[in-house]
Amino acid sequence: MQEAAIAVQAPLVSEQAEQPASSARLAFASFLMLFVELALIRWVAANNVFVTNATNFVLLASFLGIGIGFLNARATRDYVRWTPVALLVLVGFVLAFPVVVTTLKGANPYHGRGSMLALPQPLSLTIVFVLVVGVMVGLGQAVARIFVRFPPLNAYRLDIAGSIAGIVAFSVLSFLDQPPATWGAVVAIGLVVLLLPRARWWQIAAAAGVIVLLVLESLTPGQMWSPYNKLTIRNERVAGDPAMAVSANNIPYQNAVSLKAMRSGNPSYFYPYRHVTPASLGNVLIIGAGTGNDVAVALSEGARHVDAVEIDPLLLLRVGEAHAGHPYSDSRVSRHVEDGRAYLQGTHQKYNLILLALPDSMTALAGQSALRLESYLLTEQSLASAKAHLAPGGTFAMYNYYQPFLLSRYATTLQDVYHQTPCSEIQPGHSANRVLAVLTVHSGGPVANCATFWHGASLAPATDDHPFPYLQRAVIPDSFLKMLGLILLGSLLLIRLGGGRFTGMRSYVDLAFMGAAFLLLETKNITQFALLFGTTWFVNSLVFAGVLVAVYLAIETARHVRLPRPPVLYGALIASLALAWLVPQESLLDLPVVVRFLAAGALAFAPIFLANLVFAQRFADVHNSGTAFAVNLLGAMVGGALEYLSLITGYRVLLIVIGVLYGLAFITGLRRRPASLPS
For a pLDDT cut of 90, what percent of the chain falls above it? 46
Give me the pLDDT at residue 39, please.
93
User: Do the domains 4-221+472-668 and 262-362+380-442 sit in the same CATH topology, yes or no?
Assistant: no
Q: What is the per-residue pLDDT across 631-653, written as a single tens digit (0 to 9) for each? A: 787 788 888 888 889 889 999 99
Instruction: Dump pLDDT digits (tens) for 209-230.
Output: 999 999 999 999 999 998 888 9
The candidate with the shortest Cα–Cα distance to 544, out of 262, 166, 189, 247, is 166
Where does the pLDDT of residue 65 fall: very low under 50, low under 70, confident under 90, or very high at 90 and above?
very high
- Treating both helix axes as pointing N-terminal to C-terminal, what angle do 509-533 and 593-619 enclose, rounded to 10 degrees? 170
The whole-number pLDDT of residue 368 equals: 37
pLDDT of 366 above 70: no
**Amino acid 539: pLDDT:** 79
Higher pLDDT, 486 or 216: 216
Kindly state the average pLDDT of the residues 315-328.
88
Architecture of domain 4-221+472-668: Up-down Bundle (1.20)
In DSSP terms, which residues pair with 211 in a beta bridge? none
CA distances from 175 to 17, 89, 232 (A): 40, 28, 19
Around Cβ 474, how many Cβ atoms within 10 Å?
13
pLDDT on residue 408 = 93
Cα 310 from Cα 335, distance rounded (Å):
8
Per CATH, the homologous superfamily of domain 262-362+380-442 is Vaccinia Virus protein VP39 (3.40.50.150)
* 583 in Cβ contact with 553 (< 8 Å): no
The model carries a pTM of: 0.87
DSSP E strand boundaries for 343-465: 351-357, 390-402, 423-427, 435-442
For residue 252, CA distances in Å to 104, 105, 121, 595 come to 8, 12, 19, 40
In terms of Cα–Cα distance, which of 1, 46, 53, 47 is closest to 480? 53
Upstream peptide bond of 197 is cis (omega within 30 degrees of 0):
yes
| pLDDT (average), residues 658-668 | 95
Q: Label residue 104 by pLDDT band (50, 70, 90).
A: low
Q: Following CA atoms 323, 258, 309, 350 in sequence, which dihedral angle do they give, to the nearest 10 degrees? A: 140
The highest-confidence range among 35-39, 235-239, 505-509, 550-554, by mean pLDDT, is 35-39
Report the range of poorest mean pLDDT among 83-87, 466-470, 533-537, 660-664.
533-537
pLDDT tens sequence across 504-528: 677 888 988 999 999 899 888 888 8
User: What confidence score (pLDDT) does residue 320 get?
Assistant: 87
Alpha-carbon gap, residue 58 to 1, rounded angstroms: 10
Range ranked top by mean pLDDT from 446-455, 583-592, 634-643, 654-663: 654-663
Q: How far is CA 394 from CA 206, 218, 263, 282, 354, in A?
A: 61, 45, 25, 11, 8
Closest to 374 in 3D by CA, of 352, 359, 384:
359
Burial class (CB in 10 A: 0-12, 13-18, 19+), 303: buried
Spatial distance between the Cα atoms of 210 and 39, rounded to a whole number of angstroms: 13
- Return d(Cα 628, Cα 318) in angstroms, integer: 50
Domains in the chain: boundaries:
4-221+472-668, 262-362+380-442
The answer on pLDDT for 478 being more than 70 is: yes
Asked if residue 20 has pLDDT above 70, the reply is: no
